[in-house]
Amino acid sequence: MFITNAYAQSATDSAASVFGGSGFEMIILFVPLMVVWYFLLIRPQRAQAKKRDEILKNIRRGDQIVTSGIVGKVTKVVDEKELEVEIAEGVRIRVVRSAISEVRVKGEPVKADAA
């Protein structure tokens, strides 16, 4: 019993001496961890989301898109949130922009771009 208590006492003493016994050292350990977390996870994810938003915003008539496994061609931009997509000859559906997973082929340029 005495040996176990002595070992437990020496283990807690050595841990306290490593960390100094205060919370300040724990903060010093977590700051680099948070910096690494930001650069490896958060920042790339934000860049990817920004790129996706830009692609969805720039969809125009004639683009070939994929949504939920359905491939179609944009025939009309209804408003800033919806598109009309032709999935077969004469079959048109309305699709919400956020449901689009991929833009495959870019269509005709906007009239302002053509000049």
* Model confidence pLDDT, tens digit, residues 73-87: 999 999 989 999 999
Q: Whole domain around residue 27: which residue ranges?
A: 2-55
Q: Can you give the pTM of this predicted structure?
A: 0.61
Listed residues 55, 75, 94: the one ending a domain: 55
- Are 104 and 86 in a shared domain? yes
d(CA 11, CA 29): 20
For the cut 90, the answer to whether the pLDDT of residue 7 exceeds it is no
* Model confidence pLDDT, tens digit, residues 94-107: 999 999 999 987 76
Are 20 and 13 within 8 A, CB to CB? no
- Are 25 and 64 in a shared domain? no
- Are 42 and 80 in a shared domain? no
Domain count, the chain: 2
- Are 50 and 65 in a shared domain? no
- Are 19 and 64 in a shared domain? no
83: Cβ–Cβ under 8 A, 6 or more apart, which residues? 59, 65, 74, 76, 77, 94, 95, 97, 100
**End-to-end distance of the chain based on CA atoms, in angstroms?**
90
- Are 67 and 93 in a shared domain? yes
- Are 51 and 65 in a shared domain? no
What are the backbone angles phi and psi of residue 81, rounded to the nearest 5°?
-110, -20
